[in-house]
A and B are shown apart, each in its own frame.
Chain A
Amino acid sequence: MVHQLIEVFLCGVTIAAVYAVAAIGLSLLYGVSQIFNYGYGSLLMLMAYFAWLLFAKFSWVNYGLAFLILIPIAFLIGLIIDGAIARPLRRRENWQITTILATLGLGIMVDGFILLFFGPYGKSLPELWGGGIDIGAYTIDGSRLVMLLISVCVVIVVERFLCKSRYGMNMRAVSQDMVGARIVGLRINRVFGYTFGLSTALAGVSGVLLASVYMLSPEGGWALFIKGFVVVALGGVGSLRGALYAALILGVAESFIQWGIGPVWVMPFWLMILIAVLSVRPRGLLGIR
């Protein structure tokens, strides 16, 4: 029994780590440019499908190469979306709402393209790592361990990037004071573009990682998007550390709910946790805005 509980808990922690990566992508974008990308889940799915395509077409591809190829592609897609959709809308009134609606339209389109090129049937990626590690009496599943490691690394890299690098500091400056950042000569539009690119790249990483565990399906991105959304809201919009804690709470909760009463109950319970936390802390756990 104890053995099983520990296993469920570890399962929750690994899935939480991937949710954290997905949520940080959403949260970062909102924190810097105040855009909520409703096409996020679809883009995440699209990148996972690209990964599937790489694995299916070339036998020599492994996960390391896939990430190397896909992250720049995702970044570029993000840049293009920002330039084509978000930038023209930013000058208008009500731009926050119109951008949300436009990205929703983008999500529908991406779903359609996935259905068109990859068909309606579920696809799956190979395992991250077949083996396992024995620690005393327990065996930890190798794939999950690698997933956890990659996610933690990504979160640390993003955190360092935001704190230390020039571009990261530009992003934080814009997120704290847009007008001030513009006055001291930051090119706001360029920062927005990079942020969108980074956000899409994070979507890509989490998408590929999740696809190594779950099946891919054309509309599957929406469920993941809503999950990322709940994580962001619980943690506090715009707060990376909040997203991390929230992902941990919700991921472990999900794992136990799935094990105890079945997967359909995950969303209702998440909703209850969310409403409970928001009625005590209206800005989420560590929210700023």
Chain B
Amino acid sequence: MGSDRMKTLIAKTRVPREYFIFLGVALLLPVFVGFNGHLVHIFIMAFIWAIVACNWNLMMGYAGIFSFGQIAFFTIGAYATGILTRSPEAAVAAGASTTVFFLGMPPWLGILAGGIVAAAVGFLIGLPCLRLKGIYVALVTFALHEALIAFIIAGRPIGTGGATNLTGIPPFSIGGLVFPTVARTQWYYLILGIGFLMFYITHRVIHSSIGSAFVALRDAEDYAKSLGVDDYKYKLIVFTLSALLTGIAGGFYAHYMQILSLRLLGLDIFLLVMIMVIIGGLGRFPGEVVAAFVFTYLNELLRPLDVFRAIILGAIVIVTIILAPGGFAGIFKSVASHIKRGFAERTLDSKQ
């Protein structure tokens, strides 16, 4: 009995082999693309968006919460970290009229605090919102995204930088080791570590009792509810957790860029990350991680095309949804099953 439970526990929490392959490739990547090159910067951004996409997928694909507030949580985390870690002198120079919020926290603490601020906002929004039906949730979170712009513009006195940039964020440092923006290789391995930690957390959540509750609610809602599965409670937990992790990702972004602007809340980034989640495959972790890398890179490639970039990205979304509803993950799966079937047929043929 005991060993059975142990076995299922191991089966549930075991990390699939593909992760290690991906980790190996990621570890060696700078060797191939050149240390400190522009490509390394793109991959750092890819890891950051992958974390956001992961959490978005956790919400939308697994928990079935149709949330559009992910970038808002990211921005809240980034701004909170930026404000809390900035020294009072730098803040006053940037136009803040009060220095209460400038604690000059060490960056790692500031990032955690930023995540907690994002989680608190997520909790407060989720409390009334998650009782509503899906489309209403989409709407309220989308409105949060819009409203945040107003708060940041109006928040100039407390040091958000208003309509201009939030500057003077110190570089990330831990235990005397400093990570300036130019030290890209250093940052790459930092973000790689954080990213894989986040992916592991996502993996664990999906395979935990919360994850099973969501699968139950998705597949047989009434039956699951009759057995006492409280969807509101689980949704609130995931909503808050996802806001926390996204806020932390925002904190790392703030220290990497050392400058924040309202461009974060522009349509560009919102759509790009959303595309990663859709194309990666809703509810098909880790498809969105792969998609994050493909699309961050593709977005850079398409940048010279300017106007056509939006048109191409939009067309990709429509075509993928119509032709491959499961996204990348779905394509991989069907290709894999085709190959397997091909092998099976061949072995059958050879036996005959």
B140 contacts which of A110, A111, A274, A283 (Cβ < 8 Å)?
A: A274
B131 within 8 A of A: yes
Interface footprint category on B: 35 or more
A215 within 8 A of B: no
Q: When chains A and B are docked, how far (Å) is the Cα of A197 from the Cα of B322?
A: 21
Contact A270 B143 (CB under 8 A): yes
A5 within 8 A of B: no
Q: When chains A and B are docked, how far (Å) is the Cα of A229 from the Cα of B136?
A: 9
A219 CB contacts on chain B under 8 angstroms: 267
A77 within 8 A of B: no
B314 within 8 A of A: yes
Contact B139 A229 (CB under 8 A): yes
Contact A230 B143 (CB under 8 A): yes
CB distance from A88 to the nearest CB of B (A): 6
Instruction: Decide: A278 near B150, CB < 8 A? Known: A89-B322, A106-B314.
Output: no
Nearest opposing residue in chain B for A282, CB measure: B132
Contact B313 A108 (CB under 8 A): yes
Contact B151 A115 (CB under 8 A): no
A267 within 8 A of B: yes
Which one of B142, B311, B314, B322 has the greatest number of beta carbons of chain A within 10 Å?
B314
Contact B321 A265 (CB under 8 A): no
| Residues of A contacting B: mostly | helix
A132 CB contacts on chain B under 8 angstroms: none
Q: When chains A and B are docked, how far (Å) is the Cα of A223 from the Cα of B310?
A: 18
A229 contacts which of B129, B142, B313, B325 (Cβ < 8 Å)?
A: B142
Instruction: Decide: A107 near B147, CB < 8 A? Known: A89-B321, A112-B307.
Output: no
Nearest opposing residue in chain B for A116, CB measure: B307
CB distance from A260 to the nearest CB of B (A): 14
A85 within 8 A of B: yes
Interface string of B125-157 (1 = CB under 8 A from A): 000110111011011101110110111011000
Nearest opposing residue in chain B for A284, CB measure: B136
Interface string of A229-273 (1 = CB under 8 A from B): 110010001000000000000000000000000001111101100
Question: Could you tell me which residues of chain B, from 288 to 322, have a CB within 8 Å of some CB in chain A?
Answer: 307-311, 313-318, 321-322
CB distance from A233 to the nearest CB of B (A): 5
Q: When chains A and B are docked, how far (Å) is the Cα of A282 from the Cα of B139?
A: 13
A279 CB contacts on chain B under 8 angstroms: 128, 131
Which one of B135, B140, B142, B153 has the greatest number of beta carbons of chain A within 10 Å?
B135
CB distance from A286 to the nearest CB of B (A): 14
Contact A108 B136 (CB under 8 A): no
Contact B315 A109 (CB under 8 A): yes
B103 within 8 A of A: no
Contact A115 B310 (CB under 8 A): yes
CB distance from A33 to the nearest CB of B (A): 14
A-side residues, CB < 8 A to B, are: 30, 36, 85, 88-89, 92, 94, 97-98, 100-102, 104-113, 115-116, 219, 222-223, 226, 229-230, 233, 237, 264-268, 270-271, 274-275, 278-279, 282-283, 289
Q: Nearest 7 A-B pairs (CB), nearest first? A: A105-B317, A109-B314, A108-B314, A112-B310, A112-B311, A264-B150, A268-B147
Q: List 26 A-B contacts (CB under 8 A).
A: A30-B135, A88-B322, A97-B282, A98-B321, A102-B317, A104-B271, A104-B274, A105-B315, A105-B316, A105-B317, A107-B314, A108-B310, A108-B313, A108-B314, A110-B314, A115-B307, A115-B310, A264-B153, A264-B154, A265-B154, A268-B151, A274-B139, A274-B143, A275-B140, A278-B136, A282-B133
B-side residues, CB < 8 A to A, are: 66, 128-129, 131-133, 135-136, 138-140, 142-144, 146-147, 149-151, 153-154, 267, 271, 274, 278, 282, 307-311, 313-318, 321-322, 325
